Amino acid sequence: ELKVEQNPLFLSMQEGKNYTIYCNYSTTSDRLYWYRQDPGKSLESLFVLLSNGAVKQEGRLMASLDTKARLSTLHITAAVHDLSATYFCAVDSSGAGSYQLTFGKGTKLSVIP
Amino acid sequence: EPEVTQTPSHQVTQMGQEVILRCVPISNHLYFYWYRQILGQKVEFLVSFYNNEISEKSEIFDDQFSVERPDGSNFTLKIRSTKLEDSAMYFCASMGQDPYEQYFGPGTRLTVT
């Protein structure tokens, strides 16, 4: 059974600081996704990482994937309050072409002035 | 921009009643999913649907659950006899091909009393 572990689960950081969220998963997968969720809202796709060594950046967020280490990171640069949300990583767990996702527990990020 | 829509946004029902949650996926997508999220917890996969049949289902998706794509546009999740523990946010998602990115609807909050 695929396990997806994120850490930290809670993160309080000051505006302007940098931090990294980690996502480890237990079995081989070539597809990893990062989603953002605001309270009471749906999941917004941030990044799709499809191969080993993939790195994608959007604004203050950068995601990377190391399939050999089964590790993805989401790096936050110079945090601003608008980044406060819960961030989920998710791994394609199907193995049979149905592409369903197994999610981590999420990292609740609070950016404080 | 195309989006996944879901109705209703909130459904309150009594234990033992049947509910149908409706989704309209993005029109040229081929893969369809239901996930659920109990308040404050992670997102859990329920079922995937491709080529007019279920392709994968989780342990949560027992005989009380069923899915249908009755008319080529709607995608429904039926719970035959709701239980208190079915209270959750239910998300529909759809996916095209390449880059195999899942787009989530806004969700239906189901409250079973």
Ramachandran angles phi, psi of A70, nearest 5°: 55, 50
**What was the pLDDT predicted at A95?**
63
Interior angle at CA A74, CA A52 and CA A99, nearest 5? 55
Chain A residues whose beta carbon lies within 8 Å of the beta carbon of residue B48? 94, 98-100
HEC readout, B33-59: EEEEECCCCCEEEEEEEECCEEEEECC
* Confidence grade of residue B108 (pLDDT, cut at 50, 70, 90): very high
Best mutation target among A65, A98, A108 (most B Cβ atoms within 10 Å) is: A98
- List chain A pLDDT tens, one digit each, 113 residues: 889 999 999 999 999 999 999 999 998 877 899 999 999 899 999 999 988 888 999 999 999 999 899 999 999 999 999 999 999 999 987 766 778 899 999 999 999 98
| Residues B83-99 pLDDT 10s | 999 999 999 999 987 66
Cα separation, B47 vs B56, whole angstroms: 6
